[in-house]
A and B are shown apart, each in its own frame.
Chain A
């Protein structure tokens, strides 16, 4: 008997090919999609209370989106050939089409929206700053320094349109990731038309939680007052999204249990053994039920501000852990059992290899570093913009 193998695996199945990096990839794109949807709440749906997080959400989405392809790239056997996905895409492949969805989202939606939103600030800063910064901002103006009222009104209108296009694009971006898994008929753990929908809602949950936490953390670091109306509103949307997400996941689970098809006994055994900690404990109890309960309490009872902040922080952190566990259970769980339904293998994560633990930690921290640079370059706080034009609205 080989180590880590129970029962019978087809001999080529013993090695598991999609590692923790492939867990990270849907996690990161989920944060992108979720953060963008939060930003669009203010822009399209006119939820003014979340305005203080609008720019931060966009920058967070960009920081994570830039990193999103890296885990894929590092995972490939031949990363130097990855450009072929763009030059000779295979039209029947969900993965090939995803490359274009990614590019569309990055180039046509997110960067354009951020640029339009910051254009006025960029022009002002290209005139008021000095040295290297001046040059950076001058390049970022893309040669357009017209910030007349009419020009800004056009910016606003186009930005609104792009956000409108951006919402289905964000759904497409992450729904597509779900489709990559959900369309594999060979794998009963993945194969489900609900997969893209579950991915979209879990993405919104994780993205909203991440921006809420980042906002509270940054405000604390800047020693500024947290806008409680904003955080309360975000928490309320997080709660709603979580309820939908959890209902969908439970629907999937109940459907599987009741239908109990040929794969059920194998998958059921896996959930109660190899996935017990990551699925039952981390994903369902710690990462879903606990934050839902905490958020529900804040909706029903009146807590003082300091308690609400603590509750939101705990709920947000647990949410991020829970969604990561969900991605882990989908990606790794889908490879732990044999397609013969007769056995199980084990995933052994390496430490300091290309697809190891250290690399995945580095890839998780990298977007935060990029976000730090972006926030320095394009401050999401209006009052910090120095220059000839004072900010219109102070931070609440």
Chain B
């Protein structure tokens, strides 16, 4: 094929732009880790969560989270009688230091709901990112390329679960990475490791031997805001209808 100098001058910048597009959104690679062999998710067992805040503290220590922002947090729901639409919810400092105790005269049910990015398969945050700095990796983790993010906060608006924030110092979108730097090395996430009751379990949906398959078959499991049709991959066991 003969390429003239003029064609070359057009092709070279086009190739550079295309290459940048290919490179954007490539997750960090780890030796011996094959992204295509995994599809990560998390299982949260509401009945096991005691609201100790260990997960929040572990996440903040592992990932250097700025004060006042959260990649994971714990909410305490208080539901009285039949009024499911008006639960009383608190999450003081993301539940990092636990929760105020409940006196005996306060009736109704109390339970804790740990929250984190749902690593949605059809994530609205990924859809709206103007430059593709937010992307879903082949192993099912929604990540942000912080060297590429403009900090426009469109993704923050698009997330139905409030899982994203703009890092006050880095000025880019930040969120749970499912401890990508750990799970690609065969470890579990910091929050799962720190949970004293096993209420949080990292799960690999592509691994047929993962106990999550048996669990999903035999339990009443729900995702958050299913009406949003985001393909959320954080599964909640024993989730009350009042949780949103």
Interface residues of A, Cβ cutoff 8 Å to B = 8-15, 17-18, 72, 75-79, 81-82, 84-85, 87-90, 92-96, 99, 180, 184-187, 262, 334-335, 338-342
Contacts and interface: CB of A to CB of B under 8 A. Distances in A.
A359 to B, nearest CB: 17
B171 interface: yes
27 contacts: A8-B88, A11-B69, A11-B162, A12-B69, A12-B156, A12-B163, A15-B68, A15-B166, A17-B166, A75-B152, A76-B150, A77-B151, A77-B152, A77-B171, A78-B149, A79-B150, A84-B150, A85-B130, A87-B20, A94-B128, A95-B130, A184-B124, A185-B160, A340-B89, A340-B244, A341-B244, A342-B244
Contacts of B150: 76-79, 81-82, 84-85
A24 B24 CA distance: 31
Interface in B58-78: 68-70, 73, 75
B131 A84 contact: yes
Nearest to B13: A87
Nearest to A12: B165
Given A8-B89, A77-B151, A84-B131, A186 B160 contact: yes
Contacts of A10: 73, 91, 115, 161-163
Contact of A11 (B88, B91, B131, B244): B91
A12 B165 CA distance: 6
B172 A88 contact: no
A186 B228 contact: yes
B220 interface: no
B172 A338 contact: no
Given A12-B69, A12-B164, A89-B131, A342 B157 contact: no
Given A12-B162, A78-B151, A338-B162, A17 B129 contact: no
Given A8-B90, A95-B130, A13 B148 contact: no
Contacts of B17: 87-88
Interface in B128-156: 128-132, 148-154, 156
Interface residues of B, number: 49
A342 B78 CA distance: 13
A93 B158 CA distance: 11
B21 A185 contact: no
B115 A95 contact: no
Contacts of B160: 185-186, 339
A89 B130 contact: yes
A78 B244 contact: no
A278 to B, nearest CB: 20
B157 A186 contact: yes
A363 to B, nearest CB: 17
Nearest to B151: A77
Contacts of B90: 8
A94 B128 CA distance: 6
Nearest to B69: A12
Given A78-B150, A341-B244, 18 more contacts: A8-B75, A8-B89, A10-B91, A11-B73, A12-B162, A12-B164, A18-B157, A77-B149, A82-B150, A87-B20, A88-B131, A92-B127, A95-B152, A184-B124, A184-B157, A186-B157, A186-B228, A342-B89
Contacts of A79: 150
Contacts of A77: 149-153, 166, 170-172
B131 A96 contact: yes
Contacts of A96: 130-131
B159 interface: yes
A272 B70 CA distance: 31
Contacts of B157: 17-18, 184, 186-187, 334-335
Contacts of B131: 81, 84-85, 88-90, 93, 96
A339 B162 contact: yes
B87 interface: yes
A231 to B, nearest CB: 40
A99 B126 CA distance: 18
A244 to B, nearest CB: 28
Contact of B154 (A8, A9, A15, A95): A95
A11 B70 contact: yes
B87 A12 contact: no
B94 interface: yes
Contact of A12 (B70, B89, B124): B70
